[in-house]
Structure 1
């Protein structure tokens, strides 16, 4: 007992070590791959079939999680969640909470990322998981979402594109939408390897879907193409399967013998490579053909070979029904009434059972079609709402742009006005500046003139004083010279006296140099006479009494008295 247990433990340990070694090699390959799509493809091909050994599954995939965390790679972490979901679905062999939880984690991980390819593939894988375990109603939304995302994805970035598109094509064919199924397979076909089983399978599947849609002429070229690939690849199994499919086409065309020969070729190859189900279907098909030709013994022989390969499972009911109908036809052809009735009774029982199922399937397909229409209607409404919101944003955007343009125009207009005003102000300032310069120049000239006038008066005053001294000196010694000096003095004094005319000219200059001075004096003392103003002006120039007497033509005493009178007026 201990020896047996020890062997089991050692065996498990050896298997576990080999798994760890294989996992490490896979992780190394993934890590060295720089292309993201190819990296994901390597990751998604990691082993997940550990049957019920979930511990082995977790250990095998844990290095992938570590690598994803180490490189902070969202795609690799997404692949880890997908593989864990697949592994648990195999372990439980049904829809289960663990797989559902990992699918949810994967979906949430890429929800806010710009990764439409992974979102599409994630929906396909989760939908196919539900479809595999016949949770078709629940699978439906995932496949619809995946189909909607097809327009957004870059097929060059989709990991394992043929496998995933084959999944979704199988589903759409199952619900009766052959056109959609064919579309996905045709998109994926260029991404399959030349002469591979995958390429044969998908090419043949396109023909099968065309046949389901009753488009036999379109199906035939794909059958032929698939057969050519299988022949080059020397894939006998697929050569037999495709031969059977071609037989249906030849039979529809009326080439009965050729069709029978093709089906027999299918039987031979299927039995040779232990493809039992295909051999069963092919035998049943050739039996139907022989019955149609009234070759009852040959038909009966192939019916026997077909029924021998049938198992007691619901899947085989449809074939058992067809076999019963053919046996009834054979019995009728041979005149065996009792056997004919027995087979017809068996046929009707099986037919009723299958019709009940078919009705359910038909109702289910109607429901699926209704779901598709409802989904599309919801999408249309959502799109219409998005368009309306987009249009509203566009209107708001246009209004904002117009408002912005108007504001810019107003600002520009204001700037223009300000510039014009600034230009005008500059012109005015320049004019004022120029005018000021002229005034300053004029004032400077007038000041100079007034200063020159004052200096002249003072100089003349000195000259007059000098002449008077000379008169006094010469008056006794040289009367004639004294008289001549006296005449010159009188002439000078006469030209020196400020007459009314000279006063006006003088006042004009004085007012320019001392603006409003005399006017202010007059305003403050209205009793001031013109003579007073003359005296005030001369006092402003800081002239002495002698100079004032000479200018005013009065004596010094007269000037003093005039100042006294002026003082009294000002004090009053």
Structure 2
């Protein structure tokens, strides 16, 4: 422990000396004389030079003019060669890549310099730097939403960290936490949790980093409806933030605790936490977090019939996200949804209808966006499983080569050598064939899993439409009873009709259904003759365990019509009285 403290102190002193003396010295009269920016690196110990140079660059040169920045970094290359310091020389490529990423966003120059950094580190046997630069390139692609490429670099980086030995990597917990953040924002909570749990095994640089990691674990539990585990982690994070007097994180964690009570419907407990979260978020300029807190307050006010206060909060929420630099479509959807609920509660049907139309358009875009994110998660998981399979294959290949080499030295007689060689060739062929079959099976399994997800999402979307259709029916009945404007009633009827399963949507539904149950329609027609397309459409909804009400809404008929259709269907299928339609098709 004392050795670690001594090393840390020497590093801090070295870096501070470098930062303090690197840009200027003082004349006798107190005026500053500009010096070569990296001259004082000789005052820093070799093992700390790269970190010192990186810190100084980020503080002073990250956003200066390109020509000047490149000139300073070229001077750093000259200094590194003078010291024969390959680590410092490799860092220059990484810093140039960072400069262009900051100032030109996604660009080919950054990609080129990251590759040069990785190649240089490889050629000069710098495994730790190789891993770090691979990770940095992964972060570059991640920041600009090239998720599949980012994932590939993260996997390569962790493979290199493993070769170095995770315990030998400074700030290993930070690398794990950054990859966890990448998976979390894709919605891949499974892999995010794995990375976060690994991060906790290693020394964490600051209390704030530890609070962030534990809070994210809590959020994953919350998003999975495991509220008690979420609360345990949030309370743990709050105690660490409290001990380190980190008021910003104390406010964030309080808001997360309040969100648990809010989701459980305990608004009285949630209210003080959410108010504190909103105030702290405004204080520290966290507009997105402040908006989320405001929407929760608005929902509580709706439940308590505090209409005026709630509408003011929604107006403020709209202002907070109006010019947001990050995507906030989900928040816009939530604002429109709450507004429609407020106008309904106020009895302003026409105004509510107008908002619902806007809500539906925004929500459709959000569903499409979420579907794309779901596909990204499937791609990531497939990529990870493929990488793991490749690692296993390489290990098996290495073991096979060792066995062949050992066998070669043992064999004395030429005939035995030839026999064993032929045998091994056959074994390798069988293994290769098995690998091809396994690879094909994994591909088919992944495709089936993705199709099942798509069918479930499609079915769930139909069920959500049922809720809208039911709402429209109720409003139409209410408006007709009140002798409301025919135009409003007609709009509602048109909106309702748009959510009923049409022939086009049914064809798309059937196409997805066939991928999951490829023999269903063939077996149905073989087992039960003379069924019409309408009968078969009804049986697919029965197969998906939809109830009469859901089927009625999907097909645009009454519940009584569904019951009669089922009675006619039973006769066509010639079922015994004891056998239900559901039982008859359960095994098909």
Normalising by structure 2, report the TM-score: 0.59
Deviation digits for residues 128-174 of structure 1 (CA, Å, limit 9, x no counterpart): 10111122232221112123334333345424444433322222223
Flag the 1:372–1:184 CA change in 2: closer, same or farther, 3 A. closer
Which of 375, 378, 390 is the equivalent residue of 1:378? 390
Deviation digits for residues 439-488 of structure 1 (CA, Å, limit 9, x no counterpart): xxxxxxxxxxxxxxxxxxxxxxxxxxxxxxxxxxxxxxxxxxxxxxxxxx
Flag the 1:175–1:395 CA change in 2: closer, same or farther, 3 A. farther
Flag the 1:396–1:287 CA change in 2: closer, same or farther, 3 A. farther
Flag the 1:329–1:21 CA change in 2: closer, same or farther, 3 A. farther
Q: Are 1:101 and 2:112 an aligned pair?
A: yes
Which position in structure 1 is the counterpart of 2:357?
A: 345
Q: Say which is worse superposed, 220-229 or 316-325, in terms of deviation.
A: 220-229
Which position in structure 2 is the counterpart of 1:78?
A: 90
Which position in structure 1 is the counterpart of 2:212?
A: 201
CA distance in 2, matches of 1:169, 1:120: 17
CA distance in 1, matches of 2:148, 2:228: 33
Which of 217, 229, 237 is the equivalent residue of 2:228? 217
Deviation at residue 29 of structure 1 after TM alignment: 5.2
Deviation at residue 221 of structure 1 after TM alignment: 2.8
Deviation at residue 292 of structure 1 after TM alignment: 4.3
Flag the 1:45–1:220 CA change in 2: closer, same or farther, 3 A. farther
CA distance in 2, matches of 1:393, 1:31: 52
CA distance in 2, matches of 1:30, 1:347: 63
Which position in structure 1 is the counterpart of 2:526?
A: none
Q: Are 1:181 and 2:224 an aligned pair?
A: no
Alignment of 1:44-55 (within 5 A): 44-48=54-58, 50-51=62-63, 53-55=65-67
Three-state SS of the structure 1 residue aligned to 2:290 is helix
Three-state SS of the structure 2 residue aligned to 1:274 is coil
CA distance in 2, matches of 1:160, 1:28: 26
CA distance in 2, matches of 1:93, 1:51: 12
Contact in 1 for aligned 2:255/2:293 (Cα 8 Å): yes
Deviation at residue 214 of structure 1 after TM alignment: 4.2
CA distance in 2, matches of 1:208, 1:22: 50
Q: Are 1:238 and 2:249 an aligned pair?
A: yes
Gaps of 5+ in 2: 1-21, 26-31, 413-588
Which position in structure 1 is the counterpart of 2:103?
A: 91
Contact in 1 for aligned 2:23/2:36 (Cα 8 Å): no
Deviation digits for residues 349-378 of structure 1 (CA, Å, limit 9, x no counterpart): 100112222222222322333333333333
Deviation at residue 283 of structure 1 after TM alignment: 0.7
Three-state SS of the structure 1 residue aligned to 2:322 is coil
Flag the 1:340–1:111 CA change in 2: closer, same or farther, 3 A. same
Q: Say which is worse superposed, 181-190 or 132-141, in terms of deviation.
A: 181-190
Which position in structure 1 is the counterpart of 2:372?
A: 360
Deviation at residue 343 of structure 1 after TM alignment: 1.8
Flag the 1:394–1:329 CA change in 2: closer, same or farther, 3 A. farther
Flag the 1:390–1:177 CA change in 2: closer, same or farther, 3 A. farther
CA distance in 2, matches of 1:215, 1:26: 52
Contact in 1 for aligned 2:23/2:35 (Cα 8 Å): no
CA distance in 2, matches of 1:44, 1:186: 29
Contact in 2 for aligned 1:118/1:158 (Cα 8 Å): no
CA distance in 2, matches of 1:198, 1:22: 37
Contact in 2 for aligned 1:23/1:63 (Cα 8 Å): no
Flag the 1:177–1:114 CA change in 2: closer, same or farther, 3 A. farther
Alignment of 1:499-514 (within 5 A): none
CA distance in 1, matches of 2:235, 2:41: 38
Contact in 1 for aligned 2:255/2:277 (Cα 8 Å): yes
Higher Rg: 1
Deviation at residue 398 of structure 1 after TM alignment: 4.3
Three-state SS of the structure 2 residue aligned to 1:311 is coil
Q: Which has the higher helix share?
A: 1
Deviation digits for residues 515-549 of structure 1 (CA, Å, limit 9, x no counterpart): xxxxxxxxxxxxxxxxxxxxxxxxxxxxxxxxxxx
Three-state SS of the structure 2 residue aligned to 1:192 is coil
Deviation at residue 305 of structure 1 after TM alignment: 2.0
Contact in 2 for aligned 1:250/1:259 (Cα 8 Å): yes
CA distance in 1, matches of 2:387, 2:264: 40
Which position in structure 1 is the counterpart of 2:338?
A: 326
Deviation at residue 70 of structure 1 after TM alignment: 2.0
Contact in 2 for aligned 1:110/1:119 (Cα 8 Å): yes
Deviation at residue 256 of structure 1 after TM alignment: 2.3
Which of 272, 296, 319 is the equivalent residue of 1:308? 319
CA distance in 1, matches of 2:276, 2:323: 27
RMSD (Å) for aligned C-alpha atoms = 3.3
CA distance in 1, matches of 2:56, 2:301: 48
Q: Are 1:279 and 2:301 an aligned pair?
A: no
Three-state SS of the structure 1 residue aligned to 2:73 is helix
Which position in structure 2 is the counterpart of 1:28?
A: 40
Deviation at residue 322 of structure 1 after TM alignment: 0.4
Deviation at residue 114 of structure 1 after TM alignment: 4.8
Which position in structure 2 is the counterpart of 1:61?
A: 73
Which position in structure 1 is the counterpart of 2:52?
A: 42
